[in-house]
Amino acid sequence: MALVPVKIEKDGKWLVGRIDLQQDSMNVVEPFKAAIPYKSVIDLEEKKNILIVTVKGDPPVIYRIASVEKVLQAMKRFIAMSCSAYRLMAYFMSPAVRGGVMVTNATWEKGAIAVLKSTIWFVSQNKQVSVALKEVTSMEITKKEVQKNQVDVLKLDHMENTDVVTSYVLCPLSTLQILINFLKDATKDLEITGEELDPVAAQVGMLIYSGMDSHAIEKMLNIPYKNLDEVYEKLLKLGMAEVTQVRREVQLTPKGVRFITESVKPPT
């Protein structure tokens, strides 16, 4: 159907090659030969414009493929629509909210939802959105106004790089319930069980969510760093946060003080 240029990883090296994209399979023709029937694909991930295709086998075979956006779009659509996955026809809107701000040009896309081993795919003719299951932060069935009617939708909050994004799925309620049960099961590791945060820790969490750093949090909540560090420790223990950087506070030695004092003296 179409011979497309790609870069494909082999033994840790990226090689220039070509893939023959067909309706039911894609075949690597260069730099090595491999036939990949879409039905044999058990997982499909996307990381920074690289498609990671996992094919059934013992052990499974993983292909990492990079190419131009147009080629990747076609691959994603073919694979997501034909691979081994739980799939349902639905309308989706993704992203609908990004970082708390409504996406003004968000529209409902008619397509399919494919739930794979590690990723959910929203697929339509023009749009393919992947959401890694480990990046899903919450999900619920809620009401949303669609064409002046309040209808049941699945609201899915997930991370996209560092942004918190909300997407919606619209399909019959019974299907939504199957989907949410599946997703709840697939993301049960992320559930918070019984560990309640005290009000200060919850406020710290909210401030981190909003992008505040330690200095800003200390000032806003008027708490000493020692207390803030204890909250951080709690969040880390609960797996609710991770360390991004450790900042140091220093004071000048006599040598440093001498340098500064000298530097502000007027030139003689």
Chain residues that interact with other proteins, rule: CB under 8 A:
97-102, 142-145, 162-164, 166, 203, 206-207, 209-212, 216, 220
81/151 with CB nearer other proteins = 151
Least distance in angstroms from the C-beta of 179 to other proteins: 20
Q: Name the token pair of 266.
A: 């007027």
Helix (H, G, I), strand (E, B) or coil at 138: strand
Specify burial of residue 178 (Cβ count, 10 A radius: 0-12, 13-18, 19+). middle
Least distance in angstroms from the C-beta of 106 to other proteins: 12
37/99 with CB nearer other proteins = 99
143/237 with CB nearer other proteins = 143
52/207 with CB nearer other proteins = 207
Which residues have C-beta within 8 Å of that of residue 188, sequence separation ≥ 6? none
Least distance in angstroms from the C-beta of 51 to other proteins: 28
9/218 with CB nearer other proteins = 218
Least distance in angstroms from the C-beta of 99 to other proteins: 3
How far lies 173's CA from each of 83, 124, 169, 181, 184, in Å?
Answer: 25, 21, 11, 12, 16
Residue 42 CA, distance from chain mean position: 19
Specify burial of residue 123 (Cβ count, 10 A radius: 0-12, 13-18, 19+). buried
Least distance in angstroms from the C-beta of 144 to other proteins: 7
